[in-house]
C-alpha cells in the first residue's frame, strides 16, 4: 500500500538496477521519496520505471565517479538527506584461493564504496534537518560462512563502519545496517548456477523454511529510513528467517 513515509525526503539508493536495491527504490517511490538511483549497469537503470527518480551510472568503487555523482544528485534534488548502500558483489572463494585481485575487487565495491558514498554525501546531510544512512550488510558479516573470505570480511567491516557512523554523526544523522540471509536475487541464483530450486533449498535451512524476498528487505530499509525508527541508531538487524540464532 502506498504511503507518505518519505515525502519530502531526498535519497540516494545504490545498486538500484536489480535485486534488493531495485526493490528498495520501488518501495521508496511509493512512499513519495525523491530519489537518485545509482548502478554500474546502465541498461538495468534504463529499464527502471520509478517515479520522481533520476539515474546515474556509477561504479561505487571509483572515488571520482562517486564524488561527481553525489554532487550532481545533490544539485538536482536540492540536497541529500538519505542514503541506502545496496550495491554489492559476491565472489565465492576459500581463503587459499582468494587472490589479491579478488580481495581488492570485493573490498572496492562492498566496503570502500559505502565509505566513499557516506563521505561524499556527508556535507549535504549535515545541511539537512535530519538524515539517515542504511547499509546493506549480510548474514555473512555476522556468521562467516566457509568459502566467502572477501565477502564476509567486507560485510563484517560494513557493520563496523555503520557503528562508527552512528557514534560520530548522531543524533542528527542516523546510521543502521541490515544483514540479509538467503534472499532470492540474481546474486544468490548465481551461487547455484541459476537454479531457483537451489535457492529454495538454501532457504529451507532457516527457521522460516524459505528464502526471503527483496521486497522484505525493502520494508526494513523503509522503516530504518523513516521517522518510525527515530530511536534506532547504530544497529544491525538480521533479516534471515531465524538463521542467525537457530
Per-residue CA distances from 241 to 73, 114, 143, 217, 246 (Å): 35, 26, 14, 12, 9
Residue 2 resides in a domain: no
Helix, strand, or coil (residue 39): strand
Q: For the chain, how many structural domains are there in total?
A: 1
Residue 58 resides in a domain: yes
Which residues are within 8 A (CB) of 101 and not within 5 positions of it... i.e. 6 or more apart?
none
115 flagged as catalytic: no
Residue showing cell 565517479: 65
Domain span holding position 208: 10-239
Residue 246 resides in a domain: no
Among 198-207, 211-220, 234-243, which stretch is predicted with the lowest mean pLDDT? 198-207
Residue 51 resides in a domain: yes
Catalytic residue among 142, 151, 226, 233: 151
Strand partners, 56: 38
Residue 3 resides in a domain: no
Residue 93 resides in a domain: yes
Tell which residue, 111, 113, 119, has the closest CA to residue 138.
Answer: 111
Residue 99 resides in a domain: yes
| Per-residue pLDDT tens digits for 88-105 | 999 999 999 999 999 999
CA distance 110 to 60: 9
Residue 175 resides in a domain: yes
The CATH number linked to 184 is: 3.40.50.720
Helix (H) or strand (E) segment spanning residue 131: strand 131-136
| Per-residue pLDDT tens digits for 61-78 | 999 999 999 999 999 999
Helix (H) or strand (E) segment spanning residue 88: none
| Mean of all residue pLDDT scores within the chain | 92
State the pTM of this model.
0.93
Amino acid at each position: 500500500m502506498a504511503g507518505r513515509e518519505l515525502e519530502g525526503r531526498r535519497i540516494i539508493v545504490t545498486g538500484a538496477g536489480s535485486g534488493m536495491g531495485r526493490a528498495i527504490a520501488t518501495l521508496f517511490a511509493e512512499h513519495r521519496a525523491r530519489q537518485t538511483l545509482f548502478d554500474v549497469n546502465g541498461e538495468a537503470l534504463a529499464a527502471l520505471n520509478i517515479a520522481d527518480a533520476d539515474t546515474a551510472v556509477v561504479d561505487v568503487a571509483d572515488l571520482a565517479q562517486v564524488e561527481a555523482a553525489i554532487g550532481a544528485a545533490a544539485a538536482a534534488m536540492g540536497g541529500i538527506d538519505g542514503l541506502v548502500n545496496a550495491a554489492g558483489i559476491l565472489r565465492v572463494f576459500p581463503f587459499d584461493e582468494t587472490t589479491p585481485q579478488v580481495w581488492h575487487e570485493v573490498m572496492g565495491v562492498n566496503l570502500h564504496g559505502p565509505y566513499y558514498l557516506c563521505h561524499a554525501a556527508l556535507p549535504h546531510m549535515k545541511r539537512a534537518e535530519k538524515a539517515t544512512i542504511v547499509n546493506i550488510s549480510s548474514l555473512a558479516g555476522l556468521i562467516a560462512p566457509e568459502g566467502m573470505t572477501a565477502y564476509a570480511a567486507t560485510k563484517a567491516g560494513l557493520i563496523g563502519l555503520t557503528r562508527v557512523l552512528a557514534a560520530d554523526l548522531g543524533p542528527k544523522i542516523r546510521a543502521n545496517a541490515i544483514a540479509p540471509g538467503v534472499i532470492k536475487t540474481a546474486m544468490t541464483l548465481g551461487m547455484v548456477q541459476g537454479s531457483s530450486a537451489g535457492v529454495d533449498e538454501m532457504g529451507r535451512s532457516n527457521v522460516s523454511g524459505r528464502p526471503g524476498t527483496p521486497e522484505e528487505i525493502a520494508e526494513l530499509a523503509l522503516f530504518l529510513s523513516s521517522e518510525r525508527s527515530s530511536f534506532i541508531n547504530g544497529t544491525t538487524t538480521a533479516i534471515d528467517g531465524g538463521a542467525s540464532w537457530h
